[in-house]
Amino acid sequence: MNFAEKIKAFVSMQTTETTPYDYTPLDFVKTRKGILKELVLSKQSGKLIGVYSRVLGEGMFLTCVEAIQPHGKDEQIVFHRYDMSGKMLARTRISIDEIHMVCPFNKLFRSPALDTARADSVLLGVL
């Protein structure tokens, strides 16, 4: 299983809902205009987006966009504090020029902190 298939398998495990979009191929967007379009769509829909940016670290970070703010001739992108693995992002606010590539997904972003809180409340309810 290659890296892209592993990411797709991870994202597919999030929910049990099925839609015709569950089986779409991964789409890596590299142009500035395309990246901004996908970031806007993630912000509007709350959908998960994979982000490649050296300022965040190595690899793709699965998160969602909370805000897009103008900053002179540039845009500042504000991401959710945590990625899907539950790790805190090194930075939550980065310039669009610091993003090398994005990969949009058709799944809603679910905060790992909320999932942990739900699991804890279920455990406490059982005890």
Q: What is the mean pLDDT of the chain?
A: 82
Instruction: Give dist(CA 74, CA 28) in Å, integer.
Output: 22
pLDDT tens digits along 32-46: 999 999 999 999 999
Complete DSSP assignment for 34-66: HHHHHHHHHHHH-EEEEEE-TTT-SSEEEE-EE
pLDDT at residue 117 tops 70:
no
Specify the DSSP element, H or E, that contains 81.
none
pTM of the model: 0.71
pLDDT tens digits along 1-33: 666 666 666 666 655 555 555 555 788 999 999
pLDDT at residue 127 tops 50:
no
Specify the DSSP element, H or E, that contains 122.
helix 112-126
